[in-house]
Amino acid sequence: MPNASSATRPSGPSPARVLRIGGLLALAAVVLLFPSLAPDPFILSVGVVILSYAVLATSWNLVGGFTGYISLGHAAYSGLGGYATALLILRSGLNPWLALLVGALIVALIAIPVGIASLRVRGASFVIVSIALVLILQLTFQSWHTFTGGSGGLRVPRPFGPDVLRPEQHERFFYLHAVLLTLALLTWWLIERSRLGAGLKAIREDEDKAQALGVPTFAYKLTALVTSAFFTALGGGLYALWFGYLDPIFQFSILVGTYMVLMSLLGGVRSLFGPLLGAVVVGYAVEVFKSQYGDTQFHLVATGILLGLVVLFMPDGVIPAVTSFLNRRRRAASIREVSAEELARQRADKQREEATR
């Protein structure tokens, strides 16, 4: 094959790379400038909510996107993270930030036996086990009044003093969420390019085959789940510190877990920024629907329709759909086209060979 090297990518800063770095810087700038651009504290608080969703969805994607194990019950880890943080402050008098970290570590430990039990089953069974966990936790936290505050809820002490006013609270928590989101994205990125990531993606594609090639599938799945639970718990804990109040009904709700899945699917589970994009779209839509239609269930109908549309027209999510659309537009050598060219060339070569024979 004389032209075999034509398929290898050019080294050095390619236009795509420049575009990617430019996009990253633009994204960082938007996030950093948002608090000063936000017209009022309400918009800023919506920004915090959206970043919180982005943290949760990106954390969910550490297990969902890599392994293809769809957990609908990730609210278990965010809820436990929130309660662990609050209870460590209230009952042990721990510093709030230390409580956040210790709480997330505890949740990661809890995720180990949960993973050992639930990662043995695939597909629908895994989904159901993940839902069951949330429901069990909801009931437990509702009934255990003496420890969790029960269905009356639990007030979480503010980490900042009373002299820090609401708008400034929002601004600080906005940046704290941005930092946590960056850490979660960085972790996803590091795993994605590692041997561990290769093994995890192989599990998503064909678990038996991965195992036959020497991938220790169970250990890898558990690693992904525990890492995901840790970041999800940090997300839940940070949200609790900001919001200041926990109620089992909302903390351990199937809906929260479903949002994480919807956001990731919408943006694209194979893309680093897929869940973030999904969180911005869904988070914004939910807030708009809530403010327009108040306490109705209209936002649920809307998100349901959105999910249906995505699954129908962009099953891989927005980012892959847009990327492949742009690739086609640019007429640049997309992977499919290269292989098609190769095939055409091979065919031509063969015909020439046969003609000369």
Cα–Cα distance, 330 to 55 (Å, whole number): 33
Residue with Cβ nearer another protein (163 or 193): 193
> CA dist 205 to 68, 110, 198, 200, 303, Å?
8, 27, 11, 9, 28
> CA dist 27 to 100, 142, 147, 189, Å?
27, 40, 42, 16
Shortest distance, position 168 Cβ to another protein, whole Å: 39
Residue with Cβ nearer another protein (135 or 183): 183
> CA dist 121 to 129, 188, 225, 301, 321, Å?
9, 24, 14, 31, 31
Among residue numbers 260 through 299, which ones bind another protein (CB under 8 A)? Answer: 270
Contact letters for another protein, residues 205-224 (x by CB under 8 A): xx-xxxxxxxxxxx------
Residue with Cβ nearer another protein (227 or 303): 227
Regarding 354 and contact with another protein (CB under 8 A), the answer is: no
Shortest distance, position 196 Cβ to another protein, whole Å: 5
Q: For the chain, what is the radius of gyration of the CA atoms?
A: 23
| Residue position matching structure tokens 């995901």 | 228
Contact letters for another protein, residues 2-31 (x by CB under 8 A): -xx--xxx----------------------
The dihedral region occupied by 110, where left means phi > 0, alpha psi between -120 and 50, and beta the remainder, is: alpha
> CA dist 85 to 168, 244, 308, Å?
22, 11, 36
Among residue numbers 317 through 336, which ones bind another protein (CB under 8 A)? Answer: 335-336
Of 49-57, 73-81, 145-153, 186-194, which segment contacts another protein by CB under 8 A? 186-194
> CA dist 90 to 93, 149, 252, Å?
6, 11, 20
| Cβ atoms within 10 Å, residue 139 | 12
Residue with Cβ nearer another protein (291 or 339): 339
Residue with Cβ nearer another protein (247 or 316): 316
Shortest distance, position 55 Cβ to another protein, whole Å: 22
Going by C-alpha positions, the residue among 233, 220, 217 that lies closest to residue 108 is: 233
What is the amino acid identity at position 292?
Q
Contact letters for another protein, residues 187-206 (x by CB under 8 A): ---xx-xxxxxxx-xx-xxx
Residue with Cβ nearer another protein (271 or 303): 271
Residue with Cβ nearer another protein (165 or 338): 338
Regarding 153 and contact with another protein (CB under 8 A), the answer is: no
Cα–Cα distance, 57 to 36 (Å, whole number): 25
Residue with Cβ nearer another protein (6 or 95): 6
Regarding 172 and contact with another protein (CB under 8 A), the answer is: no
- Under the rule (CB under 8 A), what is the footprint of another protein? 1, 3-4, 7-9, 190-191, 193-199, 201-202, 204-206, 208-218, 270, 335-336, 338-339, 342
